[in-house]
Chain A
């Protein structure tokens, strides 16, 4: 076990992590103005355009490919009124807030708080939030839910959980373990309040763009999903629906089994849910990795893996992405027909992710078993 005086480090860690993210935002603005390859993500322009429509009294869904909650566009209206980097500043604040929530959760769970630096000093979330992706808002909401559950502030937990499901669908997979802790009324209210308000304001198009589009989405363009090529080849065939359903089954089975086997440990269950959801989803892009990476710092202190083993798994994860990215680059930017290789790489990445999850499950010790070991 490590002996550590984290107080001084915390005074340095949070400001440093914020300043680094701020520097990336400034650099991103420079790169966008002066270089051909832009730093800012395309999604950020979609959010800003949607916010502009709101300032003109129109629906954010007038912006093609805006498939998010209207709340996000409303939140980013200062992009139009104040400065276009407002959204990025909001995202990096939420990113650092996520680090703070991780720190608080680790304190409550009595585990090594320095692990929060794995998020705060991690270049992946730094890059994602400074490029203008809104994933950090969601990670803050999910971590806030877990923190409120931990301290039994159930009304706040319900509100934050409902808001997180409203922002993105995937946290709905946490419904079973969370529902066991909330009253039925609070649970239902949490999931319906925000969507009801948006439905009144924007009607059917809100339901379609925010929820139904993602539920029925069949993106045939190349992505990390192991199902990508199968769905592309069968998109117009009579087997399309049946195969879509078959693709959904492993995801559903794993979500149910993980809820059943690990529900006493909510943080670990949520991590497993998210990792399984992303790995077995019909569409998978690198932004989705942030969904489970934000929960990984809560799991790491409970792992009995050695540093060497942990680094080995990390390298394996990166290697899996690199093996996919190579043929994907040659397809998209060089025009080679690498569909078959991308398919193989997608399956290989799924096998790697499954192996990593098996290792995490096998080496995870919950708080109860750690306390039991100490007592013995």
Chain B
């Protein structure tokens, strides 16, 4: 449905501007200082990643933003939940792969998502995106640890405007090819903003894991109790059977 088929990282290009050639290439980038702040809310297996983007007062109204998240396999984003929320929250999400909602962490892999604000007009400033994420079950621990740490990278901020053909003088920013919209029907050249993050450290959470060292106790206890219940019930059935 929403699959990214190609994601290309492009370095610095030395190309002449098309058209009249009298446009300053992406002049707005020189004074632009967008900032990005991310926080993790809630507890347990169901969290929310809240990203706030401030583009700055100098940003032209037609600039569009794209947030690229790279998620570890320890968590997942439910595409169906996101699809039902996107209308209320004013953004759309593109996944780079199908998501299995049930598999434990060690049987899945990392994935990426691309968040596009879906407003018809200018990108809201500040832009706030809240993404529900869910923790996966992990393999039991055999070293006494009761929690496993999960680190989530901070998202990348990409900007685009129709007037700008960003092929030169972008330092320290770089150019990346990415889908133009969540419908993934065309590729655009986006400007990846370097170091917009106000967060000093990446996000992390801890998920509970089972205690593998108790496997014998758990298995024995479970089988003994179920067997006892089975015997008691059988005895009762045979004692009170219909004649």
Q: Which residues of A contact B (CB under 8 A)?
A: 45-46, 49, 64-65, 219-221, 226-227, 229-230, 232-237, 239, 243, 246-247, 249-250, 253-254, 257-258, 260-262, 264-265, 272, 276, 280, 331-340, 343, 347, 350-351, 354, 357-358, 361-362, 364, 366, 368-369
Contact = CB atoms under 8 A, between A and B. Distances in A.
Contact of B43 (A234, A272, A335): A335
Contacts of B211: 233, 339-340
Given A229-B218, A233-B218, A332-B44, A254 B233 contact: yes
Given A335-B43, A350-B225, A232 B137 contact: yes
A239 B206 CA distance: 29
B84 interface: yes
Interface string B87-102: 0000000000011111
A276 B219 contact: no
A226 B226 contact: yes
Contacts of A235: 104
Interface string B201-243: 0000111111110110011011101110110111011111110
A368 B241 CA distance: 13
A230 B218 contact: yes
A35 to B, nearest CB: 12
Nearest to A329: B44
Interface of B: 42-46, 80, 84, 98-102, 104, 137, 139-140, 146-147, 205-212, 214-215, 218-219, 221-223, 225-227, 229-230, 232-234, 236-242
A338 B102 CA distance: 20
20 contacts: A230-B215, A233-B212, A234-B219, A236-B139, A243-B223, A246-B223, A258-B237, A331-B44, A332-B46, A333-B42, A335-B205, A337-B209, A338-B208, A343-B221, A347-B225, A354-B229, A357-B236, A362-B236, A366-B242, A368-B242
Contacts of B209: 337
Nearest to B220: A230
A229 B222 contact: yes
B95 to A, nearest CB: 12
Contact of B80 (A45, A230, A264, A331): A45
A233 B214 contact: yes
B215 A358 contact: no
B225 A351 contact: yes
Given A239-B219, A261-B240, A337-B147, 16 more contacts: A46-B80, A64-B101, A233-B215, A235-B104, A250-B230, A257-B233, A258-B237, A262-B237, A331-B208, A333-B42, A335-B44, A339-B208, A350-B225, A350-B226, A361-B233, A368-B242
Given A49-B80, A243-B219, A339-B208, A257 B100 contact: no
